[in-house]
Structure 1
């Protein structure tokens, strides 16, 4: 067993404390693809969910069962049929779905009942509640294809779910719904999770899937994962992708994340179930591990234009006056406006930063990172940093650096490390103010 030393554990535990505070009492809808359960990830998933529950997060779980239903059909020697990315559920497939759902619900509830010493479930008391929380309607006939007993969520009993999670239970939903006449319908996990998150106005919707997230270039399987997508960018990407037919298609989960954000869920996530601790990593670390789609209806995070010059000057002036920032005049900002990223709330600039590339050194300087005192602590600084990192990667840079005299700890918490001033690109070193003695901090871009 590896030893955990205080000098590594304590700083790490302190670094996750802000996220523990931020998410206590929040509502998450977490959906696990049936492929993840088939791959043997159930116990690890349940243990991580139990930790989230212990941290005060209110949880609704949705399980998938695509491979389990397929296995049941194979055992019966019955063919399976799909169209438009959906299973066509005949009477035999419906029976198989009911059997698979019952077996999986049993396995999940059993996993939450574990309490073995020296495991994450020791001393955990987790109550799991299931029930007929979903009303469904038939998919019907689409393009001449009759989907028979396949259904779509018509209504989620949000009040009943809310009562259960408010008293500390975890609600477990299977992809089944019933009509007012008692007819059963086979639903998709994605539809159930998305509809439930919208009905609850959940703080997060999280899919654990076969795919690691949305890649920066969806056509390149080796490109990096885009860890954060603004809703507008996600819409544009989805419009450029072919219609999904398989769960491994980029658009398969992305369209549900977009639907959730459009329905009032602030953040939706696509995570790889085969990465150990993916759920915890996404929730309790700054960069996470998968792709997060963010609804930015309340603010606009964008590249600056000449119309923003006055707002930027007004924003940075108090910080120049107290010495936090180096003085910049209007002419300089006008000249460099294309380098700036801004956050605008209701027509007012509340945050900004500039990226000055040094392509010969494959790096860039992030300068003038500023967030108005009136909104500090709400994550705007992190959102600007993420956007600057995206711009740097798009420009082919492998790192970014900052010069600071007062805010080094903020940057170090977000992955920057201190280096000697001699590290600076030659062009920047010539402009370095040795009297100001700014610290140089660098972050490598994955």
Structure 2
């Protein structure tokens, strides 16, 4: 039976309205925030780059302060080839000779002009219509020689010495987009070739940017099961860096930079693909995003529990059990199930806890787990400790291949709704969990796909 075109159109419209409504909290949260977005020269040559420019213009119109950092490796290579020159690499850095510097400067300048031209588009039938975007570039990056490493003179290859944050902030306050390239200038007037990843990272750290976004080839990182790793700690990047060191040095550079930025105060670093139309908007304005986010914020004080934590758990849980908010758990049961619990500890005191119980699945059922026993010390309930531990267990569930989470609660329904759970019924529970449902307690059921 052929679908009615009006029905299809209405369905598409409803999907758009649903997305737009759910993006509103992110629009509010991102306004006046500072984002550093880095992409290499290969991204600029990709057919999807024009869509990326449209999305960057949209972010600018929403009041987000933007610093764009572009690379030019591909263009430099092309210029060198045309000139019959070659420059060796060492430690994944180009050794920039004086005779090759002209090729570097021409490539960087041409990429900058190309981006500025795209940001100046204003055709009536394009997404840029009516957008007035002022792009500013200049000598914001002071560089110094990379020097001699392993006995090799890197000549005019440099490293970032300082970032003129005051000048950049003034332009951002005027709603200008600041654009930086892979070059820096010394106090003696020399030009140095810099890795774009380093420029982006040092700039984000110096500005205390809210986000650092790397646009690369890959759609983020994949876990051992081949699934997208949506969230990871900077420490968790170690294995990916070692894996990509030989196979993809460009990815390794981005990962090292992401790790460095995260450990030095950039709370959100994103790894997304420049080949995927809409990746930037999906990453910033949807709950699941399109790539991998590197963050230390959710995990600062969270860890899996051990047997020494049982006493602290009892002290935290007993008052809630006596009020009937939580189901009673004996010491023996806590000791048996201690490996299911995550805790937040400070100075020897358990401030918050939650447990993750995988649910046995039948052949037709999704792999599911139950989050239970979410508790926060009364003195810390106005903090985000509950959210921290919930996000931690969601990440653990994803790494285990869990596809959906369930929660049963009698008192905290709204809190779970605020954290992305949806109302469900007892019949929605996997059969193994339905068999254990306590009808006398009459808990409400919520579920969340992850």
Give 1:132-211 correspondences, 5 Å limit.
132-211=139-218
Measured against aligned partners, the alpha-carbon deviations of 1:277-329 in whole angstroms (never above 9, x if no partner) come to: 22222222222222222134993121122343444445555655665544445
Change (3 A) 1:134 1:346: farther
Q: CA deviation at 1:132?
A: 0.2
CA distance in 2, matches of 1:190, 1:292: 17
The residue correspondences of 1:44-443 to structure 2 (distance < 5 A) are 44-217=51-224, 223-234=226-237, 236-237=238-239, 240-241=242-243, 243=245, 246-249=248-251, 251-296=252-297, 299-316=300-317, 320=321, 324-344=325-345, 348-361=349-362, 362-371=367-376, 380-405=385-410, 407=412, 411=416, 416=421, 418-443=423-448
Aligned-partner Cα distance in 1 for 2:384–2:118: 36
**Deviation of the 1:13 alpha carbon:** 2.5
Q: 1:226 to 1:95 in 2, by over 3 A?
A: same
Moved more, 289-298 or 259-268: 289-298
> 1: distance between equivalents of 2:328 and 2:82?
73
Q: 1:426 to 1:248 in 2, by over 3 A?
A: same
- Please report how far the alpha carbon of residue 207 of structure 1 lies from its aligned counterpart in structure 2 after TM superposition: 0.6
- Per-residue deviation at 1:157? 0.8
Please tell me whether the aligned partners of residues 136 and 152 of structure 1 are also in contact (alpha carbons under 8 angstroms). yes
The Cα offsets for residues 13-55 of structure 1, whole Å up to 9 and x where unpaired, read as: 3322222222222211111121111113332122212222222
Aligned length: 439
Q: Is the 8 A contact 2:216 2:272 kept in 1?
A: yes
User: Structure 2 vs 1, CA of residues 50 and 314 (structure 1 numbering), >3 Å: closer, same or farther?
Assistant: farther
CA distance in structure 1 between the partners assigned to 2:382 and 2:50 by the alignment: 36
The unaligned stretches of length 5 or more in structure 1 are none
Deviation at 1:93, TM superposition (A): 2.7
Deviations 1:198-247 (A, max 9, x none): 11111111110112222223xxxx7122211123333x436754645744
Change (3 A) 1:161 1:244: farther
Q: Shift of residue 348 of structure 1?
A: 4.8
Q: Give the 3 Å change call, closer, same or farther, for CA 297–2 of structure 1 in structure 2.
A: closer
Q: What displacement does 1:121 show?
A: 2.0
CA 1:141–1:119 in 2, change beyond 3 Å: closer, same or farther?
Answer: same
- Normalised to the residue count of structure 1, the TM-score between the two structures is 0.87
Inter-CA distance 398–296: structure 2 relative to 1 (3 Å threshold): closer
**1:174-194 deviations in whole A, cap 9, x for unaligned?**
111111111111111101001
Cα deviation per residue 1:34-83 (whole Å; 9 max; x = unaligned)? Answer: 11111133321222122222222211110011111111122223234222
CA contact (8 A) 1:69 1:93 kept: no
19, 23, 34: which is aligned to 1:27? 34
Distance change in 2, residues 1:371/1:404 (3 Å): same
Secondary structure at the residue paired with 1:257?
A: helix
Give the structure 1 partner of residue 3 of structure 2.
none
- Contact between 2:231 and 2:395, CA under 8 Å: does it hold in 1? no
Find the counterpart in structure 1 of residue 21 from structure 2: 14
Q: Distance in 2 between matches of 1:70 and 1:91?
A: 15
Contact 1:210 1:248 in 2 (8 A): no
- Structure 1 residues 188 and 241: CA distance shift in structure 2, 3 A: same
Q: Per the alignment, do residues 71 and 206 of structure 1 end up closer, same or farther by CA in structure 2, a change over 3 Å counting?
A: same
